[in-house]
Amino acid sequence: MFRQILLLLLAILPPVAMAVQRLPEGSEFQLFIENDMLARTDRYYTNGIKFGGGMSFDLLQLPAAEVLRQIAPEASGKVHLGLFLGQNLYTPRSITISQAQTQDRPWAAWLYLGGVAQRTRDNRIDTVEVDLGLVGPSALGKEIHSGWHRLIGSPQPQGWHHQLPNEPAFLVSWMAKSKYPLGSAAGLDIEAIPHGGATVGTVMTLARGGGLLRVGRNMTGFGPDTIEPGGAMLQNARRELEPGRAQRFEWYAFGGVDHRLVAHNIFLDGTVFRDSPSVRRRPHVYDLSLGLSLRYGALRVSLTRVKRSEEFFSAASSGGRQTFDSVNLGLEF
C-alpha cells in the first residue's frame, strides 16, 4: 500500500508543484468531499474527493480551452484555467461479503487529474473539464476505503478483489449555467439558475439538464460549486463577472434537480477494453438536492444533501437509490 501511495505522489507532485508556482492572482483552492456516512449507509457511490483550483497546467487545460472555444465561439470573455485531482469509490450494497456479487453494483475506483477551462458572459458561465486517469486497483480504492474504515472503526470492506480491472480512462465534460433574478420576498433575493451540459468518454457518456432555486442575501456566482466535472466556478471567473462583490457576508439556501440521460457508465457497464463485472444500467437518473451556502470574505462553505435515483437494475428490480452529503470548501486569493 505505502509503495503505491509513494509512487502516486512522486508522479503527481511535480506537475502540481509547477502549477502552484504559476498560480495567477485571483485564483482559489477548492476541496470537495462527498460521502454517505451521515446518511448511515456505505454503498454504491460511497465516497468522492476532489481538490484543486485556478492554476495553469497546459497539458490538460489547453484541450479544455479549445473545446470551450468551439462550444461558445461568440463569447468574448477571457478563458480562465483550473486544475483538479480527484478520486471516486463505488461498492455494492453490502461491503462485508467477500464473494462476488454478480447481481449488485461492481466494486470500482476512479483516480483522475482534470484540466478546466471556463468563460463568463453576462448572466452565463460555460465550463469544460478534461479528466484523465485510471480505473481499477491502481486507483487505490481498496487502500483508501480500508484505511478510512480502520480510522473510524467501521467494518472492513471485503470485496475489493472483485473490482473493475485496471484501465486508463478519460472524459470530456461541458456545463453551462445561467441565472435569472426572480425578485425579492421578506427582504431576501430569489434567483433561478438553470443548467445543461454533456459528457463524452470512456468513463461516462451522458446529456444533462436541470436547475436550482436559491433564496438569500448578497448572492454571487451560480449557486454552490459541485464535485462533478464542470461544476466548479473559478475565482478568476468570479472576479470578471462580479468585480464589485462589495458585501463581505453572503448566504443562501437552495434546492435543485439534475436529470441525466446516460448512454454509458463504466462503473455500471464495466471496463471498455477488458472483461469485467457489470450490471444493467438505467438510462434515466436524477438527483434532488437541498443545501446551504455561506461566504465570509475569502472563505466559502457549502453543505448539500443529495438524493439520487436508482442507477441500475438488479434481480429485485430496485438497485442504486441512495442518499449522500456533499461539502465544498473554497478559499479565494
Mean pLDDT score, 163-175: 96
End-to-end CA distance of the chain: 36
Q: What is the pLDDT of residue 235?
A: 82
Rounded Cα distance between 247 and 249, Å, is 6
Domain with 290 in it: 2-332
> Which grid cell sits at 262?
446516460
Give how far Cα 27 sits from Cα of 65, 233, 332, Å: 17, 11, 6
- What does the pLDDT look like over 181-207, one tens digit per residue? 999 998 999 999 999 999 999 999 999
**pLDDT of 82-94, one tens digit each?**
999 999 999 999 9
Q: What is the pLDDT of residues 229-254, one digit of tens each?
A: 999 998 878 877 776 666 889 999 99
pTM score of the predicted model: 0.88
Q: How confident is the model at residue 56 (pLDDT cuts 50, 70, 90)?
A: low
Domain count, the chain: 1
Using one digit for the tens of pLDDT, what is the confidence trace for 104-114?
999 999 999 99
* Single-letter amino acid, residue 206: L
pLDDT in tens, 273-291: 999 999 999 999 999 999 9
Comparing CA positions, the residue from 196, 184, 212 lying closest to residue 302 is: 212
**pLDDT at 153 (0 to 100):** 85
Average pLDDT over residues 166-195: 96
- The CATH code of the domain that includes 90 is 2.40.128.140
Q: How far apart are CA 186 and CA 208, in angstroms?
A: 33
Contact 283, 263 (CB under 8 A): yes
Q: 83-99 burial by CB neighbour count: b if 16+ within 10 A, else e?
A: bbbbbbbbbbbebeeee
Contact 212, 223 (CB under 8 A): yes
Kind and range of the H or E run holding 250: strand 249-265
Q: What is the dihedral angle through the alpha carbons of 191, 75, 65, 47, rounded to the nearest 10 degrees?
A: 10
Alpha-carbon distance of 124 to 196, in angstroms, equals 11
